[in-house]
Amino acid sequence: MNYLVHLSISYPFPDYVPGNFIFDLLPRQNKNKPLAILQKGIQLHKQIDHYSNNHPSLQEINKSLHPFVHKYAPVASDIICDYLLYRLWVPNISTEFDEFANWNYKILMECLDVFPEKLQTSTRMMIEHKWLYQYTSINGLLNVLTRMNSKLRFEGDLTKVLEPLSKNEKYYLELFQSFYTDLRELSNLWIIPQSEMKL
């Protein structure tokens, strides 16, 4: 999952954060019958995923990464998109990154008790280690990709995508910006601020 991209879309609406964050981590049985507090965020997460998977710019990124990681190109693409968003943070997000990260950590800590017990532990550890900062540097990205290697069902090395990213970062930044501009614009139709919801 591209945590940074997803959380940037639900910001600054706290009621969308828990479900948007946790959906990809939920066991199958929990996905089928999510708690009410998670449903809005889960719906937003699904909309982001569907739009992302069909956007030509992300499809182009996947295509360019395929020679390096083959079937895992979409997985690698998700991860490097968080790095690309951080590189383009200032023109896209008005809030400073530190404030954004701390706000999300606070919201997630406040709703930990609605997560499955195992995910409470892992989420708390992610927050304690300030995991969003992993996407702010190539070294952090290397750590994320290396950890993801251990979760792959088949043999693969996601760190290989750092080669094309390093050599052609401007190309990837341009593709990502094209995608993210469209995503931000469309997401305005998906999010209903609490003050505008019908009682």
Dist CA 197 CA 40 (whole Å): 12
Q: Say what the pLDDT of residue 36 is.
A: 85
Q: What is the pLDDT of residues 147-179, one digit of tens each?
A: 999 999 999 999 999 999 999 999 999 999 999
Tokens of 116: 């499955």
Residue 195 has pLDDT above 50, yes or no: no
Q: Say what the pLDDT of residue 35 is.
A: 82
Dist CA 114 CA 95 (whole Å): 28
Dist CA 30 CA 34 (whole Å): 5
Provide the pLDDT confidence category of residue 197 given band limits of 50, 70 and 90: very low
Find the mean pLDDT for residues 100-127: 96
Q: Say what the pLDDT of residue 192 is.
A: 73
Determine what percent of the chain is predicted with pLDDT higher than 70.
93
Provide the pLDDT confidence category of residue 27 given band limits of 50, 70 and 90: confident
Q: Say what the pLDDT of residue 28 is.
A: 76
Cα 13 to Cα 79, 116, 125, 156, 191: the distances in Å are 23, 22, 23, 37, 8
Q: Say what the pLDDT of residue 167 is.
A: 98
Q: What is the pLDDT of residues 40-93, one digit of tens each?
A: 999 999 999 999 999 999 999 999 999 999 999 999 999 999 999 999 999 999
Dihedral in degrees, nearest 10, Cα atoms 178, 179, 181, 187: 170
Q: Say what the pLDDT of residue 196 is.
A: 47
Q: Which residue has the higher pLDDT, 144 or 28?
A: 144
Q: Say what the pLDDT of residue 193 is.
A: 59
Highest mean pLDDT among 12-16, 114-118, 191-195: 12-16
Cα 186 to Cα 23, 152, 180, 183: the distances in Å are 20, 32, 10, 5
Nearest to 20 by CA among 191, 197, 148: 191
Q: What string of DSSP letters covers 89-133?
A: HHHH-SS-HHHHHHHHHHHHHHTGGGS-HHHHHHHHHHHHTTGGG
